[in-house]
């Protein structure tokens, strides 16, 4: 309680991880609690999970009541700001296997629990760690959904990290691993996670996952990866230590490698980059206000596989940014990119800036678009794209020229036409 309260005093929200689809089998836990399978399924092919733990028997009302009471307790007494519910896939399907069908009892429990928690704790986030394609996970219970507020985008995480491990010479054949996320994104309210699961058990840390063995290129790629993540629609979850560029996997028995910031300049510069990226994406509504509305995102170029390049707009009312990602080690001078409208581009973030550990390939001056068609767009602009680099441009559309004053004859005709239109509407009314 004291820890959560201290976090709140410093403006930090706290989310608790709730692994309620299974529980450990040791003598200290609920297993065979009264000498029988009281909380778990009786001995059968569904009594034990894939982790060797017991599965809660959610067909029992008292087991459901116990678990809902646990969740309510953490929120009511400890004031947690959210619950991340673990392994939802294993609750939706019997043993997490879609081929075995839906566990209706478990699904009904999710709905009942989320409905009641949402009523009692209106501002608490309910987050599903779910890798399934089960529909309506983040739809309200009243509309037939499971009632979660957010769902982890496990597909985005797996595809993106797999792509970043590929030799850039061969990324062309895997180009859709990056652009595919937007094909399904609006079906749920997604969170993009790079969590504890990605940096433990021999999986390597995020910066280690980047292709190649060159120290500089790994950091160049991880800066571009995080620019992509933080400017992509959806909420974000980044595990502690990732922002330090740690090469040591997370260990719950040790603190983070804070010494990196003092002893290794590249890590300090990466930390500074992370700070500036967070500042850009949290202070400008274009990057979050319309996360789950289709008019908040637009591909500029999703198909440039030959150059390993992606570009898209992030938008909200009165604000627009263009994000350009170069997933190749090649500097592209005089690079032409199509644009939806006549505009001016001003570089507000460049991952290749020397202050972030990059090579310093920048676009320091505002760039005016030209009436030159490129791809499907009527306008385009030319700039320099840094190697393994990401650029965020602020986009200012050129004001449309005002219509010329009409001649007296045109005014008379216009008034007459308007009068007829008004009269027609009046008659219809």
Give the pLDDT confidence of 247-267 residue by residue, as tens digits: 999 999 999 999 999 999 999
Residue 282 covered by a domain: yes
According to the model, what pLDDT value does residue 409 have? 52
- Same domain? 172 vs 308: no
Residue ranges making up the domain that contains 281: 2-287
Question: Which is higher by pLDDT, 408 or 3?
Answer: 3
Query: 199: Cβ–Cβ under 8 A, 6 or more apart, which residues?
Result: 205, 206, 239, 241, 242, 246, 249, 250
According to the model, what pLDDT value does residue 402 have? 75
- Same domain? 157 vs 264: yes
Reduce the DSSP state of residue 94 to 3 states and report it.
helix
User: Which residue, of 223, 254, 287, is where some domain finishes?
Assistant: 287
CATH number at residue 324: 2.60.40.1180
pLDDT at 394 over 80: yes
Spatial separation of the C-alpha atoms in residues 268 and 414, rounded to whole Å: 65
pLDDT at 404 over 90: no
- Same domain? 224 vs 309: no
- Same domain? 349 vs 270: no
- Same domain? 210 vs 352: no
Residue 209 covered by a domain: yes
Question: Which is higher by pLDDT, 404 or 375?
Answer: 375
Residue 402 covered by a domain: no
- Same domain? 250 vs 335: no
Pick the catalytic residue from 45, 62, 86, 289: 86
Structure tokens at 269: 């510069």
pTM, full prediction: 0.90
CATH number at residue 67: 3.20.20.80
Residue 387 covered by a domain: yes
pLDDT at 176 over 80: yes
Q: How many CB atoms lie within 10 A of CB 416?
A: 10
- Same domain? 283 vs 299: no
- Same domain? 303 vs 321: yes
Residue 407 covered by a domain: no
Q: Is 129 a catalytic residue?
A: yes
Q: Whose CA is closest to 391, among 286, 306, 321?
A: 321
Q: What percent of the chain has pLDDT over 70?
A: 94
Q: Is 97 a catalytic residue?
A: no
Contact criterion met (CB below 8 Å) for 395 and 322: yes
- Same domain? 282 vs 305: no
The total number of structural domains in the chain stands at 2
Contact criterion met (CB below 8 Å) for 320 and 261: no
Pick the catalytic residue from 17, 81, 108, 129: 129
pLDDT digit string (tens) for 320-340? 999 999 999 999 999 999 999
- Same domain? 230 vs 115: yes
Residue 427 covered by a domain: no
- Same domain? 278 vs 306: no
- Same domain? 225 vs 334: no
Residue 216 covered by a domain: yes
Reduce the DSSP state of residue 348 to 3 states and report it.
strand
Residue 219 covered by a domain: yes
């Amino acid at each position: 309680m004291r820890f959560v309260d201290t976090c709140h005093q410093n403006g930090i929200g706290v989310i608790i991880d709730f692994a309620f689809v299974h529980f450990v089998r040791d003598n200290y836990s609920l297993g065979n609690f009264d000498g029988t399978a009281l909380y778990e399924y009786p001995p059968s092919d569904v009594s034990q999970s894939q982790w060797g733990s017991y599965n809660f028997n959610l067909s029992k009302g008292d087991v459901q009541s116990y678990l809902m009471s646990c969740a309510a307790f953490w929120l009511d007494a400890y004031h947690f700001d959210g619950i991340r519910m673990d392994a939802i896939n294993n609750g939706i399907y019997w043993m997490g296997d879609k081929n075995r069908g839906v566990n209706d009892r478990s699904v009904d429990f999710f709905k009942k629990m989320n409905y009641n928690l949402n009523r009692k704790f209106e501002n608490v986030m309910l987050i599903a760690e779910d890798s399934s394609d089960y529909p309506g996970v983040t739809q309200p219970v009243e509309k037939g959904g499971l009632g979660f507020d957010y769902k982890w985008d496990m597909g985005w995480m797996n595809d993106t990290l797999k792509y970043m491990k590929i030799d850039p010479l061969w990324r062309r054949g895997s180009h859709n691993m990056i652009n595919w996320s937007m094909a399904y994104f609006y079906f749920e309210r997604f969170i993009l996670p790079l969590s504890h699961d990605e940096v433990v058990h021999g999986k390597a840390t995020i910066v280690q996952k980047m292709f190649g063995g060159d120290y500089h290129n790994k950091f160049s790629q991880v800066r571009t990866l995080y620019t992509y993540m933080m400017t992509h629609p959806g909420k974000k979850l980044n595990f502690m230590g990732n922002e330090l560029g740690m090469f040591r996997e997370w260990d719950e028995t040790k603190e983070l490698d804070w010494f990196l910031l003092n002893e290794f300049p590249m890590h300090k510069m990466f930390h500074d980059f992370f700070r500036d990226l967070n500042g850009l994406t949290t202070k400008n509504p274009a990057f979050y206000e319309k996360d789950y509305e289709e008019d908040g995102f637009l591909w500029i170029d999703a198909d440039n596989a030959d150059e390993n390049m992606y570009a898209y707009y992030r938008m909200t009312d009165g604000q627009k940014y263009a994000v350009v990602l170069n997933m190749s080690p090649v500097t592209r001078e005089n690079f032409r990119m199509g644009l939806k409208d006549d505009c001016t581009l001003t570089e507000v973030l460049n991952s290749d800036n020397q202050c972030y550990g990059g090579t310093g390939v920048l676009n320091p001056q505002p760039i005016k678009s030209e009436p030159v068609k490129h791809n499907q767009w009527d306008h385009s602009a030319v700039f320099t794209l840094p190697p393994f680099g990401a650029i965020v441009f602020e986009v200012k559309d050129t004001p449309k020229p005002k219509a010329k004053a009409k001649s007296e004859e045109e005014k008379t005709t216009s008034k007459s036409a308007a009068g007829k239109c008004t009269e027609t509407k009046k008659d219809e009314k």
